[in-house]
Structure 1
Amino acid sequence: MIEDSEGRADALFHALSDRTRRDILRRVLAGEHSVTTLAAKYDMSFAAVQKHVAVLERAGLLTKRRNGREQLASGDVEAVRSVATMLDELEAVWRGRVARIDALLTQGD
């Protein structure tokens, strides 16, 4: 997992920028799935799905554990909440900027 906040944000948003990864994340947030089961849901190779899972894992959005020969993936709800928090913070910044612009425009009247 990435340690510094900017690197973590980059990793999270990169991971979420892909439709397949967002779908995989939705599935593993709903319940634990083997990577093999996940791969069967997509029209791509097992290796391609493994790569998507690895991107999500590096971003900290999911974790994997071994159960015999299978790798089981689970979503990390707290990591998803951290994305929501980041977006809320960005929204607050932009709302503040818009409010200042509105105030400047009102002063000009």
Structure 2
Amino acid sequence: MTPLKLIETTSGSFSLLLDAGTTQVDELVEQLGHEPNGYFWEGVARFLVSAEAQKLEGRFSYDPEAGMFCAYGTDQAALQELGSLMSTVANDAERMRALVASATTAGFEFDD
């Protein structure tokens, strides 16, 4: 799940975290016209859920900041699945390029 981390913040509550600016695709994200900050990564997560993992919809919440992506909740399995999906994008330039192209075609706007 690298570079994402899943931590238990309190008993039964979990956070999925990504430090913005630490992925292998940051330069590509900028070339595609986006800022690889926490808000951009929230958009990645939301698009992945809507396009590829609709069963995750509503099972956690988002709380990004400029320097960090965060999804949180009590459903550890859902956050783990989101982390796995996001990891493939964060570590694969072609996957990121395809995701941004699909999002653009679908009219999805990243809030970065």
Q: Could you state the TM-score of these two structures normalised by the residue count of structure 2?
A: 0.28
The higher radius of gyration belongs to 1
Larger RCO (CA within 8 A; separation ≥ 6): 2
Q: Could you state the TM-score of these two structures normalised by the residue count of structure 1?
A: 0.29
